[in-house]
Amino acid sequence: MNRIETQRRAALAAAALLLAAAAVACSDALSVERPGQITDGQVGGGGLTDALVAGAEGEFHVAFNWVANSGAAASDEAIFTHGWTPWEEYDRRTLTPASPAWDGIGYPWMQRARVTGVRNAQKLVEGKASGVAVAHALNYAGFSTLLLADYLCEVPLNGGPKLPRAQVYDSAIALFNQALPLAGADAEMTNLANLGIARAYLNKNDLAHAIEYAKKVPAGFEAWVRFQDSNNFDDWVQKYNLFYRTSGFISPSEFSLALDPAEWATKRDLRVPFNTDVQQRMFTSNPYPRLGYIPFVPSSFKGWPVQDTITGGADIRFASGLEARYIIAEASLYGGTGGWSGAQVLAFINERRAVGGFGPYAGADLKGELREQRKMDLFFAGYRVPDLIRYKQFHGIDEWPKGKMGGYPADAPYTYGSTECWPVAQSEINTNPNF
């Protein structure tokens, strides 16, 4: 081999070496910064415990806001007419899988809350967070699951097939049961888990278990969904303050109590106050506007009993010892073992009536009166729809509004539709291979 050939081969070898060196250097040379994003691996690496917990809570707040509003609209607790959101389908109970206000808004938010709670709990475990922190995420995952079970007829979880409601309650109970031992001495998390289990059992009509767990919740326990008042579009995107916009609290003119004014005119329950001087014309774009009263802050909202219009930042009590007592009372009346006697239930009813400004109950329909008191105490806090479902499904009591819709002029053609639970949204149907 002559010198030239040697040189040529040397050059080629050098080139090959250069390329090989470049290939070896590849991994280091291609590392990049992502200062604006936290990656999946980083999130599970510890150090974000509080943020993960807050994330699980925040997503639940968003989802809760939606069901509280949409449930209120469907059960005639309230009327919403915000211009951006087609509330009429909830109001008239004509919801379909593709209804824009369900498919594009409510359903994904509810699923997101559940998925986030579970995912964040896993990330907290990966990050070796404290048991209480994990219990936080699991509890909010559990309550998010309860929302799905409470409002939907059938629910797909984690991209799977539709599950009957009872199985979804079981899924929620499992999450709470995982949370309980982790909560340790943390009373708030323990109470939240017990109440969640009690609510799930009640809605499954497992009355004994409902009573068992409800009894573990102290009467003074309260858990709140928090919101911040703002009229800034950017702000509510940033701060989960979705309640402000989606509920339609742009102005009092976009929110009203739903029942027929003639009926509401007779109600003077202090727990559900309203402005008796003004009746709003709702759905003004229609030829037949609906009439309603402007509500003041109800007893399930922060700020009660101050008689003022509700703001977008009003916190809502979503779980409480009061609810636990209602669970015990209802389960006891319907035969649940280990609960209260009739006298205890009556005493409870009278206690609640007093809060509403009424005297002791003198009638014989304790169950009916208990439903009425529960309706007022838990007004506009997301309870009404699952209550109506439970009453009808397990007790044969159908309190869903029917026939001609109240508040409309006599010649208005509107009657209530048949929606009694929210369908699986079209976006899930389109994307879930099990559908």
Q: In 129-270, which ranges are continuous DSSP H helix?
A: 131-151, 165-183, 187-204, 207-214, 233-239, 242-246, 261-264
**Is residue 8 at the binding interface for other proteins, with CB under 8 A as the rule?**
yes
**Is residue 187 at the binding interface for other proteins, with CB under 8 A as the rule?**
no
* Nearer of residues 58 and 273 to other proteins, judged by Cβ: 58
Alpha-carbon distance of 102 to 96, in angstroms, equals 8
Candidates 286, 318, 226; CA nearest to 407 is 286
Rule CB under 8 A: choose which of 17, 51, 262, 265 binds other proteins.
Answer: 51
DSSP code at position 32? -
**Is residue 100 at the binding interface for other proteins, with CB under 8 A as the rule?**
no
Rule CB under 8 A: choose which of 13, 47, 50, 263 binds other proteins.
Answer: 50
**Is residue 59 at the binding interface for other proteins, with CB under 8 A as the rule?**
yes
CB of 130 to other proteins, least distance (A): 15
How far from the centroid of its chain's Cα atoms is residue 236's Cα? 17
110: left (phi over 0), alpha (psi -120 to 50) or beta: alpha
Contacts of 203 (CB under 8 A, 6+ apart): 146, 149, 150, 165, 169, 386, 389, 390
Query: Which 9-38 residues touch other proteins, going by CB under 8 A?
Result: 11-12, 15-16, 18-19, 22-23, 25-26, 29-38
Alpha-carbon distance of 67 to 200, in angstroms, equals 17
* Nearer of residues 238 and 337 to other proteins, judged by Cβ: 238
Query: Which 415-434 residues touch other proteins, going by CB under 8 A?
Result: 425, 427-428, 430-432
Query: Which 139-168 residues touch other proteins, going by CB under 8 A?
Result: 155-160
- Under a CB-based contact definition with an 8 Å cutoff, are residues 426 and 97 in contact? yes
13: left (phi over 0), alpha (psi -120 to 50) or beta: alpha
Query: Which 311-370 residues touch other proteins, going by CB under 8 A?
Result: 315
Query: Which 279-298 residues touch other proteins, going by CB under 8 A?
Result: none
Contacts of 331 (CB under 8 A, 6+ apart): 202, 207, 208, 210, 211, 214, 339
Query: Which 235-274 residues touch other proteins, going by CB under 8 A?
Result: 238-240
How far from the centroid of its chain's Cα atoms is residue 344's Cα? 31
Rule CB under 8 A: choose which of 47, 232, 265, 360 binds other proteins.
Answer: 232
* Nearer of residues 166 and 397 to other proteins, judged by Cβ: 166
Stretch that binds other proteins, among 48-56, 273-281, 321-329, 362-370 (CB under 8 A): 48-56
* Nearer of residues 95 and 328 to other proteins, judged by Cβ: 95
Structure tokens at 333: 């009346």
Stretch that binds other proteins, among 94-102, 105-113, 248-256, 394-402 (CB under 8 A): 105-113
Query: Which 383-422 residues touch other proteins, going by CB under 8 A?
Result: none
Q: Which residue has the tokens 């819709």?
A: 405
CB of 114 to other proteins, least distance (A): 8
